[in-house]
């Protein structure tokens, strides 16, 4: 299985701000949503399917505006772990062009104890 998870979203009125383009905050919501969807898709292959990811840090670069009715392709994939931090890329494409680029850092949390779980550096190999 590829580590890339992808979906498409058609931009609707609820995504638009008063400047008539996708609201920047909406991209943050989509970053969190697609990361959660990707985890839901692969967690059954891990030893920790009930545990959760917590967002520590996010960086988003807005390259082009996206407007009502346009179709976005969102791609996400985890990068090589950095100690307890798990970097994740989320890329937004419109008409084949990268319009928003995001890098987030996550930590894995034991659902019951609320403590960070240190994953093996090669944990992505099972996916």
CB 44 within 8 A of CB 77: no
Boundaries of domain holding 17: 5-126
Dihedral sign for Cα atoms in the order 27, 64, 67, 77: negative
pLDDT in tens, 111-125: 999 999 998 888 888
Q: Kind of pairing, strands 86-94 and 5-10?
A: unpaired
Number of domain units in the chain: 1
pLDDT in tens, 16-38: 999 999 999 999 999 999 999 99
Under DSSP, is residue 22 helix (H, G, I), strand (E, B) or coil?
Answer: strand
pLDDT in tens, 37-88: 999 999 999 889 999 999 999 999 999 999 999 999 999 999 999 999 999 9
- The domain that contains 97 carries what CATH number? 3.10.129.10
State the pLDDT at residue 81.
93
pLDDT in tens, 89-98: 999 999 999 9
Query: CA triplet 121, 125, 127: central angle to 5 degrees?
Result: 125
pTM reported for the whole predicted model: 0.92
Tell me which residue of 102, 115, 16, 7 sits closest to 67, measured CA to CA.
16
Name beta bridge partners: 59. 103
Q: Quick one: 72 exposed, middle or buried, by C-beta within 10 A (0-12, 13-18, 19+)?
A: buried
Phi/psi of residue 16, each to 5°? -95, 140
| pLDDT, mean over the chain | 94
State the pLDDT at residue 1.
38
């Amino acid at each position: 299985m590829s580590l890339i998870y992808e979906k498409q979203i058609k931009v609707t009125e609820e995504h638009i701000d008063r400047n008539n383009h996708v609201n920047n905050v909406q991209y943050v919501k989509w970053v969190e949503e697609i990361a959660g969807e990707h985890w839901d898709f692969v967690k059954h292959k891990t030893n920790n399917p009930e545990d959760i990811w917590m967002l520590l840090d996010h960086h988003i670069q807005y390259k082009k505006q996206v407007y009502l009715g346009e179709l976005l392709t969102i791609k996400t994939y985890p990068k090589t772990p950095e100690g307890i931090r798990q970097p994740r890329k989320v890329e937004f494409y419109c008409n084949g062009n990268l319009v928003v680029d995001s890098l987030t850092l996550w930590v894995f949390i034991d659902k019951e104890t609320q403590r960070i779980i240190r994953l093996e550096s090669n944990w992505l190999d099972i996916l």
